[in-house]
Amino acid sequence: MNAAPLTRGLEDQVEFVPPSQLALKLRAGELDAALVSVTEVLFNDRYDILDGIAVASLGEVKSVFLAHRIPLEEVREIYCDTASLTSYNLLRVLLCERGLRPEYKPLPGYEQSASLDAVLLIGDPAIEFLRGNPKHEIMDLGAAWFELTRLPFVYAVWALRRGIENRALRQVLRETMNFGLDTLDSIIRDRPEFDYAFRKDYLGWHIHYHLASDERRGLARFIELLRAHGFGPVYEPVFVS
């Protein structure tokens, strides 16, 4: 759902699969661009980032969180949704900053989430879990990042395959974002997911789509912490307009 404003009008030209699968297709040269987890760009020096556009939050994000039934200090293993590497690495950074290094395991299936002591969820399954009034405590990763840094967090960017001519594509993606934001009220009204009040709150408040100076500072801080905790190598992002 949170990609809708960045793909409005291009639905017949866009392949909708989880970010981790998009990354594989981008690496294989099957796509010219993909809206991927930002760590795909940071860990692979083969893409450019389309400047000005991102999926980001300033504080609570609602759709990326750690749900835990026992105190964080007692958590020994966390089951992680494999759809996004960014969320996984953000969680590792946040917990390392607290001196915690649990074991991370792939989540075998969403249906098991409620029975696990600690689970990292993202996207629509995370929202569905949250709206089910779970007995878990919720560590919203957007809120935790803001508490740590006072900066926005960038979850996803348009990654462009380096070495091919894509000036026209970049223009299309910028125009698509502008159209999506200009018609955001219509997107919120017409999307089928959840209910109108939630869509309005989520797309109109918790998520934002610009990549400006504060988002760049947040990204630079994330890079700094990834390196500090030994997660890498991490490459400097290359932005193109």
The pLDDT of residue 21 is 84
Of 107, 132, 149, the last residue of a domain is 149
**Same domain (yes/no): 123, 179:** no
Write the CB contacts of 138 (distance below 8 Å, at least 6 apart in sequence): 65, 66, 67, 130
Q: List own/partner pairs for 194-198 with CB under 8 A and 24 or more apart.
A: 194/127, 194/131, 198/127, 198/131
* Residue-wise pLDDT tens digits, 108-167: 888 889 899 999 999 889 999 998 888 899 999 999 999 999 999 999 999 999 988 999
Cα angle 184, 187, 188; round to 5: 90
Q: Which domain holds residue 207?
A: 4-57+153-240
The pLDDT of residue 20 is 78
pTM: 0.93
Model confidence at 19: pLDDT above 80: no
The pLDDT of residue 15 is 85
The pLDDT of residue 132 is 87
Percent of the chain surpassing pLDDT 70: 100
- The 3-state secondary structure of 82-99 reads CCCHHHHHHHHHHHHHCC
How far apart CA 227 and CA 237 sit, in angstroms, is 14
* Residue-wise pLDDT tens digits, 22-50: 888 998 989 999 999 999 999 999 999 99
The count of domains in the chain is 2
Whether omega for the bond prior to residue 192 falls within 30 degrees of 0, making it cis, is no
**Same domain (yes/no): 76, 195:** no
How far from the centroid of its chain's Cα atoms is residue 161's Cα?
Answer: 19
**Same domain (yes/no): 144, 185:** no
**Same domain (yes/no): 45, 88:** no
Binning pLDDT at 50, 70 and 90, where does residue 55 land?
A: very high
How far apart CA 63 and CA 140 sit, in angstroms, is 8
**Same domain (yes/no): 157, 220:** yes
- CATH, residue 192: 3.40.190.10
The pLDDT of residue 6 is 95
Q: Are 103 and 76 in contact (CB under 8 A)?
A: yes
**Same domain (yes/no): 15, 122:** no
* Residue-wise pLDDT tens digits, 56-113: 999 999 999 999 999 999 999 999 998 878 999 999 999 999 999 999 999 988 888 9
Structure tokens at 187: 């997107």
* Residue-wise pLDDT tens digits, 191-223: 998 999 999 999 999 999 999 999 999 999 999
Binning pLDDT at 50, 70 and 90, where does residue 17 land?
A: confident
Q: Are 173 and 55 in contact (CB under 8 A)?
A: no
Strands 77-80 and 103-106: parallel
**Same domain (yes/no): 21, 85:** no
Q: For 170-184, what is the mean pLDDT? A: 96
